[in-house]
Amino acid sequence: MNKPPTLLHTLNTTISGMPSFPLPLSDEEIKQKYQVENIYHMHMNESAYGASPSVIKVLQAESNLVGYYPVMRDDPLREKLVETIGRNLSTDHFFTGCSGYETLELLFRALLRPNDEVIVMHPTFGIYDRLTMLNGGTVRNVPLADHTFAPDIDAVLKAVNEKTRIVLVCNPNNPTGTVMPKSQMDKLVHNMPDHVLIVADEVYFHFVTDPDYPDSIQYVLDGYNVAIIHTFSKGYGMAGMRIGYGITLPTLATYVHKFYRGFHLNRLQIAAGITALDDPAQLQKNIDAAVNGRDYIYTQLDKLDLHYWRSQTNFILIKCPCPAADISQKLLERGVIVRTLHGDYANYLRVTVITPEANQAFATGLEIALQELR
Ligand SMILES: Cc1ncc(COP(=O)(O)O)c(C=O)c1O
């Protein structure tokens, strides 16, 4: 009876060493366990004010039609993206996915062959490693500099070989919140051999205020092998909808289209995406919350004499004087959920900047946690 079914021996084992996604406590469980009234989600880099009211309205209307298949392809959303972004892009420059995550996934599936290599710069978004392994590839890590988290472009270019297919540039980078400036991105793009695609994961680009941030769309328009990843999860406040898109050379974007399922995006995703693009005011509200919230939290961190990295995103990376898990537990007991890093970064905590009320709850909780733990 305890013998494993034969099937298990024949599975795709490329990711068997990877953990499954965790199942955290629900808000209700946290409320009951710690007897708190409010829960502040400051661990998922969601936006302060969520989706536009017009998106909620269109979702309600569209939900009456869920008995019918959506359009077979994603053309209406790509047409709206062209209308919104302009820049001489055409619908053939775009591909979409059920989330930024799936947009990356489609790109990896379209590009990677077994034993191909993907260059990443850790600490960065762990999903790149996962997607590489899922597609039979090998990860090559060219780490960011200790402490400054600056990329080493010469080392990246040196790590490129004939097996390299993708260089992943998370910009701004998760979890550091830092950006690769234009001069470095220029150097990377201009010196990359033709068989390599640079993937600029820019899902946090709406929150960038640094004038040195590269204009990646221009690389695409100039014909470089660059693919940009955007999402509706962050600035548009629609993480629950799972909509993302890529911008790249038409030859590559239309190739990625071949990897779509039929009825690739559902009715609600298409309607919500199109409607969100028509409400720049809600986007701006979420951006302002992040930019102002960053300043507020910096001031509080300065008062506590904590080291942090100035962020170009809606989250901040903080170095704690003790294991971040201890602080995170104390915060959880006050209903504030934050992300902790692991391994060499076990003292690092990442907090999403959301509403003033939540930001204040975090600052107060952090101060108390530090007092108790010191
Ligand atoms: C750097 C980065 N890329 C991509 C994603 C995927 O976002 P989503 O799948 O919600 O669009 C995230 C999510 O947090 C992220 O941090």
Cβ neighbors of 216 (< 8 A, separation 6 or more) are: 171, 185, 200, 202, 226, 228, 247
Residue 1 has pLDDT above 70, yes or no: no
Q: For a ligand 1 pocket test, name from 105, 203, 269, 341 the mutation site with the most ligand atoms within 8 angstroms of its C-beta.
A: 203
Task: Return the CATH architecture of domain 53-278.
Answer: 3-Layer(aba) Sandwich (3.40)
Residue 63 has pLDDT above 60, yes or no: yes
Confidence (pLDDT) at 21: 75
Name the pTM for this structure.
0.95
Residue nearest to atom 16 of ligand 1 (CA): 174
Average pLDDT over the chain reads 95
* 339 pLDDT tier (thresholds 50, 70, 90): very high
* 2 pLDDT tier (thresholds 50, 70, 90): low
* 5 pLDDT tier (thresholds 50, 70, 90): low
Which tokens hold the place of 306? 């904590």
- The predicted model gives 243-257 an average pLDDT of 98
Q: CA 285, CA 204: separation in Å to the nearest integer?
A: 15
Residue 26: is it exposed, middle or buried by C-beta count within 10 angstroms (0-12/13-18/19+)?
Answer: exposed
* 4 pLDDT tier (thresholds 50, 70, 90): low
Q: What is the CATH number of domain 23-50+281-373?
A: 3.90.1150.10
Confidence (pLDDT) at 3: 64
In the chain, pLDDT over 70 holds for what percent of residues?
98
Q: CA 48, CA 56: separation in Å to the nearest integer?
A: 16
Confidence (pLDDT) at 10: 73
CA of 294 to the centre of ligand 1 (A): 20
Residue 9 has pLDDT above 90, yes or no: no
* 11 pLDDT tier (thresholds 50, 70, 90): confident
Cβ neighbors of 86 (< 8 A, separation 6 or more) are: none
Ligand 1: residues with CB < 6 A are: 45, 99-101, 125, 170, 174, 201, 203, 231, 233, 239, 244
Confidence (pLDDT) at 23: 76
How big is the chain by its Cα radius of gyration, in Å?
21
CA of 148 to the centre of ligand 1 (A): 23
* CATH 3.40.640.10 segments of the chain: 53-278
Alpha-carbon distances, residue 363 vs 19, 122, 352, 368, 371 (angstroms): 32, 28, 12, 9, 12
CA of 174 to the centre of ligand 1 (A): 9
Report the candidate in 129, 169, 114 with the shortest Cα–Cα distance to residue 15: 129
Confidence (pLDDT) at 54: 98
Q: Which of 50-54, 72-76, 239-243 has the lowest mean pLDDT?
A: 72-76
- The predicted model gives 250-279 an average pLDDT of 97
297-323 pLDDT tens trace:
999 999 999 999 999 999 999 999 999
CA of 8 to the centre of ligand 1 (A): 31
- The predicted model gives 163-181 an average pLDDT of 98
- The predicted model gives 203-223 an average pLDDT of 98
30-44 pLDDT tens trace:
999 999 999 999 999
Q: E-assigned strands of the chain?
A: 40-42, 94-97, 117-120, 138-141, 164-170, 197-201, 226-231, 244-247, 307-309, 315-319, 336-340, 348-352
* CATH 3.90.1150.10 segments of the chain: 23-50+281-373
The partner residues of 95 in beta bridges, in order of sequence, read 246
CA of 35 to the centre of ligand 1 (A): 32
Atom of ligand 1 at shortest range from CA of 102 = 9
Residue nearest to atom 8 of ligand 1 (CA): 100
Q: Cβ(242)–Cβ(269) under 8 Å?
A: yes
70-126 pLDDT tens trace:
998 899 999 999 999 999 999 999 999 999 999 999 999 999 999 999 999 999 999
Confidence (pLDDT) at 18: 76
Q: Cβ(135)–Cβ(109) under 8 Å?
A: yes
Report the candidate in 260, 271, 274, 251 with the shortest Cα–Cα distance to residue 90: 251
CA of 312 to the centre of ligand 1 (A): 15
Largest CA distance in the chain: 64
